[in-house]
Structure 1
Amino acid sequence: MSSSAPVDPRVAAEAQAPAATEPAAQALPRPQWVPLTVGIVAGAALIAGAGAVAGAQAAVLAVLGLALGLTLFHSRFGFTSAWRQLVSVGQTSGIRAHLLMLGAATVLFAPILAGGVTFFGGQPEGYVEPLGLSLVVGAVLFGIGMQLGGACASGTLFAVGGGNTLLVITLFFFICGSVLGALHMPFWSADAITMGSFSLAEDTGLGYAGAAVLQVVVLAVIGFIAVRWARRHDAPRAGRPPSARGVWRIVRGSWPLWVGALLLAALNAVVLLTRGTPWGITSAFVLWGSKALQALGVDVASWPYWQGEKAAALSQPVLADATSVLDFGIIAGALVASAASGAFVLAKKLPLRVVAAAAIGGLLMGYGARLAYGCNIGAYFGGIASFSAHGWAWGLLALVGTWIGLKLRPLFRLSVPKPTDSVC
C-alpha cells in the first residue's frame, strides 16, 4: 500500500513497520520551510497562550503535546493499521510495539500511582473506568470507526498536523460523534447496564508492585505469541519512509517503532506527573463541539454530562483545558515534524466514497469513545497503564470492531491488506 495511492489517501496517517527494518535508500525530500515556520510559530504561540491562560502547568503540557506530535509522526506510531495488519495478514510488528509501550508505561506508572506526588501538587490518579454494556458497544464501534475513518484518535491528530486533508473530515465528524455520545451518556451509564470498575492493583490485593509484575509478564507472553503468530502466517515484510542518517534523523527521518513506543510511554508518565491524570484525547473533542453548540444557542450546560466537575470547562477558555492543550500540541508538533521531513502534503482531490467513509468512521469513533470512557489513548493505553480491567477489555473489543470494519472497507472501495502486500 502506498501513502500516495489515490484510492485510499489515509494510509499515511497510520503507516506501520517493524522496528528492526531499516529504511530503503531513497532521496529524502527537502524541508518545507513555509509549513515548518508555521508549525514552529504555532507551537510557540500555544506554549505562550496556554501559560498566559492557565499558568506554568498548561505551558508544560503544551510542550509535552508538541513532543507527542513529533514522536507520533516520526515513528509513524499508529493503532489503526497495527490492528488492521494483525487481523488481515497476521503482521504483528505494530502490536509488538504496543506491548513494549504498555510494558514500559506499566513500570513507570506503578510507583507514580502508588504514592507519587505530581509536579504541581496533588495525588496522581489513573484511568480506572467501569465495565459494562457501554464499554462493549463503545469499543466495538470505535474499532469499526478506525478502519473506516482511516486513523485512531492520536492518528487523526498527527495526520491533520501532517497535512492529511481527509483526516480533517474525520476529525470534524469525530467531534460530532463525541457530542452525540455525551448527550446519550445518561442512558449508557445507567446502573442497570454498568458493573463498576476493577483495578488490578487495588482490587486484587497485589498492590501496584505486584500488579506491575503480573502485567509485564502477561504482556511478555502476548509478545511471544505475537512473534509466533507472525511466523505462522508468514506475515509480509515491512518498509519504512525515507530517512536522514545520523543525528539528522532526529528531526528529518523515520524513527524505529521501538523508539516511538518507549518515548510515548515516558511522555505519558510525564503527563501523569504534570496534570495528575494520564494522557487523553477525546474529552477535548466533546468540549470543542459543545462550545460550538453553545455559541449557536444550544443549552448544552443543562445536559447531565456537563454537570458537576465538568461544568466549569464550558465557561472557561479552551486553553484552560489540559486535554485541549495536549491535542493542539500534537497537531503543531506533527506539522513541524512533517514539514522538516518534507512530508507535508495537502490532498487536492478526495473521492466521495472515501469522504463518506471518513465521516461515518469519525462519527463511530466519537460516539464510541464517549461510551467506552475513552479512545485508544485514554482507554487502551492509559487504562492498561493504570492497571484498569476496562483497558484490557477495550483492546480486545477494539479487535472485534477491527474485524467488522475490515469487512466493511470494500463497500467504500477501501483496500484491505493481503498476504502478498508489503506493509508500509
Structure 2
Amino acid sequence: MSESNVSSRTSSRRREGAGRKPKKKQQPYGIALLVGVIAFGIYLSTISAKLTLFWILGCCFGVILQKSRFCFTASMRDPYLTGSTSVTRAVLIAFAVTTIGFTAIKYGYYSKGLPIPGQGYVVPISLATAVGALLFGIGMVIAGGCASGTLMRVGEGFTMQILSLIFFVIGSLWGAHDYGWWKLNFMLKGPTVFLPDLFGWFGAVAVQLLLIAGLYILADKWENRNQEQ
C-alpha cells in the first residue's frame, strides 16, 4: 500500500471524526439518578421499613439483571439463534439454587406441622399448561424479552420494550379478569402434581436436581458442538 493511500485514508478518517458530534457525558445523569434513588429510599423509610427493603432489593435486582443480561427469553432463544448456552446454564443454576432454598423453607414448615407456604401455586397440569406455555414463549420471542428482561430494558430506554410493557400490562389485566372462567373450564381438569407427595422431600429434590443437571450437560454439549462447526 502506497504512502499516498495511507495518508488519504487517515485524512478521511479525521474528517469523519471531526463531523461526529461529541458524546455527552453520562456521569452527571448517573449521579443525579443515584441521589434520587437514595432520597426516595429515605422517604419510603418514613412510611414503612418493608417498603424500603423492597425498594433496595428491586434496585439491586435491576442492576444485576442489566449487568448480567439475565433473561429467560435469551436462555431459550440463544441456543437456536447463536448456539450460545451461557444464559441457559445460568438459568439452570438459578433453578438449582432456588430448588434447594425453597425446599428447605417448605420442609421447615412441614416438619413443624405448620401450613406449607406457597401451596396455592401447586396447580393442576393439563393441556392448558402446555398451550399457555407455548403462547407465552412465542410472545416473549416476539417482544424480545420476558417480564424481567422487558422491565430491565425499559430502564435502559428501549422504545420497543416500552411498547411491550404496555401490552404486557393490558394482557395481564385481561387475563386476571377472565382467570376464573379459564380455571373452571380448563385448568382444573388436570391432575395436581407435588413432587414431595410422589418421591418424598429429599427424593423430590434429588429428582429435580438430576433433571437440571441433565439439562445443564446437554446445554454445554450443544454449545461445544456449535463452536466446533
| Shorter-chain TM-score tier | 0.7 to 0.9
On the 8 A contact 1:96/1:223 being kept in 2, the answer is yes
Amino acid at match of 1:197: T
Bigger relative contact order (CA 8 A; separation at least 6) = 1
Identity of aligned residues (%): 33
Q: Deviations over 1:138-162 (max 9, x none)?
A: 2212111111111110001111112
Pick the aligned partner of 2:194 from 196, 199, 210.
199
C-alpha displacement of 1:196: 4.7
Q: Does 1:130 align with 2:124?
A: yes
Amino acid at match of 2:76: W
Aligned partner of 1:146 in structure 2 is: 140
On the 8 A contact 1:86/1:92 being kept in 2, the answer is yes
1:129–1:40 CA distance, 2 compared to 1 (3 A):
farther
On the 8 A contact 1:91/1:235 being kept in 2, the answer is no
Pick the aligned partner of 2:94 from 91, 94, 101.
101
Which structure 2 residues correspond to residues 21-420 of structure 1 after superposition, within 5 A? 32-53=26-47, 55-115=48-108, 124-125=117-118, 127-194=121-188, 195-201=190-196, 203-207=197-201, 209-234=202-227
Distance, in Å, in 2 between the alignment partners of 1:235 and 1:144 is 29
C-alpha displacement of 1:38: 4.3
On the 8 A contact 1:134/1:189 being kept in 2, the answer is no
Name stretches of at least 5 consecutive residues in structure 2 with no aligned partner.
1-22
Distance, in Å, in 2 between the alignment partners of 1:158 and 1:77 is 9
TM-score by length of 1: 0.43
Distance, in Å, in 2 between the alignment partners of 1:131 and 1:51 is 42
C-alpha displacement of 1:197: 3.2
Name stretches of at least 5 consecutive residues in structure 1 with no aligned partner.
1-28, 237-424
1:193–1:75 CA distance, 2 compared to 1 (3 A):
closer
1:49–1:177 CA distance, 2 compared to 1 (3 A):
farther
On the 8 A contact 1:133/1:188 being kept in 2, the answer is no
DSSP 3-state at the match of 2:203: helix
DSSP 3-state at the match of 1:231: helix
1:42–1:138 CA distance, 2 compared to 1 (3 A):
farther
Amino acid at match of 2:157: G
1:43–1:125 CA distance, 2 compared to 1 (3 A):
farther
1:50–1:134 CA distance, 2 compared to 1 (3 A):
farther
DSSP 3-state at the match of 1:190: helix
C-alpha displacement of 1:65: 0.9
C-alpha displacement of 1:232: 2.8
1:128–1:40 CA distance, 2 compared to 1 (3 A):
farther
On the 8 A contact 2:74/2:88 being kept in 1, the answer is no
Q: CA RMSD in A?
A: 2.8
1:184–1:125 CA distance, 2 compared to 1 (3 A):
closer
Amino acid at match of 1:44: I
Q: Deviations over 1:332-383 (max 9, x none)?
A: xxxxxxxxxxxxxxxxxxxxxxxxxxxxxxxxxxxxxxxxxxxxxxxxxxxx
DSSP 3-state at the match of 2:195: coil
C-alpha displacement of 1:186: 2.4
C-alpha displacement of 1:37: 3.3
DSSP 3-state at the match of 2:71: coil
Amino acid at match of 2:95: L
Q: Deviations over 1:88-139 (max 9, x none)?
A: 343322211111111122122221221159xxxx964364333234422322
TM-score by length of 2: 0.75
Largest Rg, 1 or 2? 2
